[in-house]
Amino acid sequence: MGVMTGKNLIEVEGLKKYFNVGGGKVLKAVDNLNFFIREGETLGMVGESGCGKSTAGRTILRLYEPTGGSVRFNGTDIYKLSPGKMKAMRRDMQMIFQDPYASLNPRFTVSDIIGEALDIHKMAGSSGERKKRIEELLDLVGLNTDHATRYPHEFSGGQRQRIGIARALAVNPKFIICDEPISALDVSIQAQVVNLLQELQDRLGLTYLFIAHDLSMVKHISDRVAVMYLGKMVELADSEELYSNPIHPYTKSLLSAIPVPDPEIESQKKRILMSAEGGGPIRSADEKTEETSLVEVSPGHWVAMPH
Amino acid sequence: MANDNITNKQSLPVVTANDFEPVNINERESEVIKRESLTAWRDTWERLRRNKVAMSGLVALVVIIIASIFGPYVAYWVHGYDYQTNDLMATNQKPSALHWFGTDDLGRDMFVRTWSGARISLIVGVAAALIDLFIGVIYGGIMGYFGGRVDTIMNKFSEVLYAIPYLLVTILLLVVFEPSLGTIILALTITGWINMSWIVRGEIMKLKNREYVLASRSMGAGTGRLLFRHLLPNASGPIIVTLTLSVPNAIFAESFLSFLGLGVQAPISSLGSMVENALTGWMYYPWRMLFPAVLISIIMLAFNLLGDGLRDALDPSLKNK
């Protein structure tokens, strides 16, 4: 958990991303998200597969064009930026991807992968400077600098993910979206990567949006946690508060699914089940969905309530 | 012994923390990669080299290419005749020391004509394939990259073009224009690029949602960088295979057109027109048909074997499927 200054680095307002699925239907992958992330903070984002977490992350970085809403970075609405200014803005916002096997171009060497951002933003004046910076980044993420000329397929999953982290760090970003950065990794490697992320946050003053479905890991790394369900945010609170005092039925159900490492408790634990309301996020384009808005039930603890 | 230990639980030694000592493995050292670093191309070459069938195709092609370049010169240098020198006193001769492949009905040397015909065939085949590649990659790349309405319209256009029988288009074109090397290549490429464009389109569509492309976009990469640094290099496998397999198609099409009399015009030789010429007397002078026909077959077989081998070498996961 990083050093917080209290200033809001990211402010997301009414963010919507709908996909056309044909037949006049739309998939409301992300529907009316409102939240902010303080500078130096880690906001965890949890929810089941397909709830729109990754889409939200990619829309915030404008890898997908939003259907509606705004994302302000340091007060600037990034959706209103021209392509040129957006390109410059990308130096401040980066992403670490889920699948370390798919997120590295198999035909690039490690130094090409990490150096690409340096080339795009012309951040290295000479090839010597570029090489030095790449070695610096490899060292930062704990990789052997001799590996710069190797290809991704020669590395293990954990090493590849560290290459992905070095790539994201190359442009000196302030904000990084970690899109399930550990879910494709072996359990023994997960801790290594999470510790590296925390260490980097402390050293470089980074702000994270940490997307995951592993609830225990999210609790460990996050200052605050947001719970997403069917494209909407249903609960947002400090991690301690959320885990000890969940209010929304979906959060309760989600938390009851965390395995307990004690077989006796685990066997007696009761799962709280919840049925999907309204049948999922695909609806016809004009159909009204139940409008909910976040209500602050206690300081900093927000829960979605119907109007 | 082992059995005794398991059954007799009391005899198990008590293990305490003091019995363990740190191994002190240096994490960085344990991560050193010992394997020699191979680029994707070196890897492909290593795999191709082990494929005997594909390699025999490659060797045959190299030999044929060298022979078609130098064969006519060698004959000229040894005997002093070229592809149109005729000797009416020596028509339809059997292969001999003077005429290694015999002579045709006008007394022209078959060795020279066969190899210069092969040269024409290879030029047409490779040129047509390269033009297909050029148009197909651009057209398919645009379809795949932009998708949506652009893709629908462009794809429908190529489907309509593909639906017209290509032989019809080709024959029309060759009747209207003077048959020459250029017209033949034009006729072959007018519909030939469509297959390549579909292959490229499919590959780009598949690759453009890969995370490494997203990652590059998140760093601010433009269309050019995405296409030429990420998408096309990763689609190069299927592109190369399609290219290799479209060369024999073009060669066969050229031979076929020449056989119909629509190919390159006499006195320039072409493998197809030589077969056609030999048709009248093949019962009496079989070698006049044998050499060009066998050479067409070997060229096509060699390209196909190499193409299949390349497919396996470029994407080992496709093998045995």
Give the closest-approach CA distance of A179 to chain B in angstroms. 11
Q: How many CB atoms lie within 10 A of CB B180?
A: 14
pLDDT higher than 80, residue A288: no
Which residues does chain B have within 8 Å of residue A142's beta carbon, measured at their own beta carbons?
Answer: 27-28
pLDDT higher than 70, residue A295: yes
Cβ separation of B219 and A149 shorter than 8 Å? no
- Helix, strand, coil shares of chain B, percent, nearest 5, are 75, 0, 25
The pLDDT of residue B31 is 62
pLDDT higher than 90, residue A42: yes
**Of A133, A203, A36, the residue nearest A195 (C-alpha):** A203
Cβ separation of B212 and A155 shorter than 8 Å? no
Q: Which position has the higher pLDDT, B58 or A6?
A: B58
The pLDDT of residue B311 is 83
Per-residue pLDDT tens digits of chain B, which is 321 residues long:
445 444 555 666 778 878 887 776 665 556 666 666 666 677 788 888 888 899 999 999 999 999 888 887 877 777 777 777 777 777 777 777 777 777 777 777 788 888 888 888 889 889 999 999 999 999 999 999 998 899 999 999 999 988 888 788 888 888 888 778 888 888 888 888 999 999 999 999 999 888 899 999 988 888 888 988 889 888 888 898 888 888 888 888 888 888 887 877 777 788 888 888 878 877 788 888 888 889 989 998 999 999 888 888 877 665 544
Cβ separation of A106 and B33 shorter than 8 Å? no
The pLDDT of residue B25 is 61
Cβ separation of A121 and B32 shorter than 8 Å? no
The pLDDT of residue B151 is 92
The pLDDT of residue A285 is 54
pLDDT higher than 90, residue A211: yes
Which residues does chain B have within 8 Å of residue A63's beta carbon, measured at their own beta carbons?
Answer: 214, 217-218
The pLDDT of residue B321 is 41
Q: Which position has the higher pLDDT, A73 or B274?
A: A73
Inter-residue contact A94 to A175 (CB < 8 Å): yes
| Preferred mutation among A78, A85, A116, A119 to probe B, highest tally of B CBs within 10 A | A116
Average pLDDT over residues A252-257: 84
For residue B290, give Cα distances in angstroms to B63, B272, B278, B287: 19, 12, 9, 5
Q: Is B254 exposed, middle or buried (0-12, 13-18, 19+ CB in 10 A)?
A: buried
- Does B41 contact chain A (CB < 8 Å)? no
ipTM of the complex: 0.84
The pLDDT of residue A92 is 92
Cis before A106 (ω within 30): no
SS (H, E, C) A96-150: ECCCCCCCCCCCCCHHHHHHHHHHHCCCCCCHHHHHHHHHHHHHHCCCCHHHHHC
A76's tokens: 């600037």
pLDDT higher than 90, residue A164: yes
Inter-residue contact B116 to B68 (CB < 8 Å): yes
Q: Which residues of A154-306 form beta strands (DSSP E)?
A: 175-179, 207-211, 224-229, 232-238, 282-284, 292-298, 301-306
Cβ separation of A106 and B221 shorter than 8 Å? no
Cβ separation of A105 and B28 shorter than 8 Å? no
Cβ separation of A116 and B218 shorter than 8 Å? no
Cβ separation of B216 and A116 shorter than 8 Å? yes
Query: Of B215, B225, B230, which is closest to A167 when you measure between CB atoms?
Result: B215
Give the closest-approach CA distance of A93 to chain B in angstroms. 8
Type of residue numbered B275: V
Cβ separation of A159 and B218 shorter than 8 Å? no
pLDDT higher than 60, residue A286: no
Average pLDDT over residues A63-75: 90
How far apart CA A167 and CA A103 sit, in angstroms, is 11
Q: Give A282's pLDDT tier (boundaries 50, 70, 90).
A: low
For residue B306, give Cα distances in angstroms to A246, B56, B96, B113, B244: 64, 8, 33, 26, 7
Average pLDDT over residues A288-293: 67
Q: How many CB atoms lie within 10 A of CB A52?
A: 24
For the ranges A187-191, A222-226, A280-284, B115-119, which has the lowest average pLDDT?
A280-284
Indicate the Cα dihedral angle A124, A129, A135, A141, nearest 10°.
-40
Indicate the SS3 state at residue B261.
coil
For the ranges A63-72, A145-154, B200-209, which has the lowest average pLDDT?
A145-154
Give the closest-approach CA distance of A300 to chain B in angstroms. 31
Query: Of A97, A107, A155, which is closest to B40 when you measure between CB atoms?
Result: A107
Cβ separation of B37 and A102 shorter than 8 Å? no
Interface of B with A in 233-262 (CB under 8 A): 233-234
**Of B317, B186, B195, the residue nearest B244 (C-alpha):** B195
Query: Of B39, B212, B233, which is closest to A103 when you measure between CB atoms?
Result: B212
Which residues does chain B have within 8 Å of residue A86's beta carbon, measured at their own beta carbons?
Answer: 220
- Does B36 contact chain A (CB < 8 Å)? no
- Does B148 contact chain A (CB < 8 Å)? no
- For chain B, the distance separating the N- and C-terminal CA atoms, rounded to the nearest angstrom, is 50
| Preferred mutation among A104, A105, A163 to probe B, highest tally of B CBs within 10 A | A105
- For chain A, the distance separating the N- and C-terminal CA atoms, rounded to the nearest angstrom, is 35
pLDDT higher than 70, residue A5: no
- B190 half-sphere exposure, CB direction, 13 A CA radius: 20
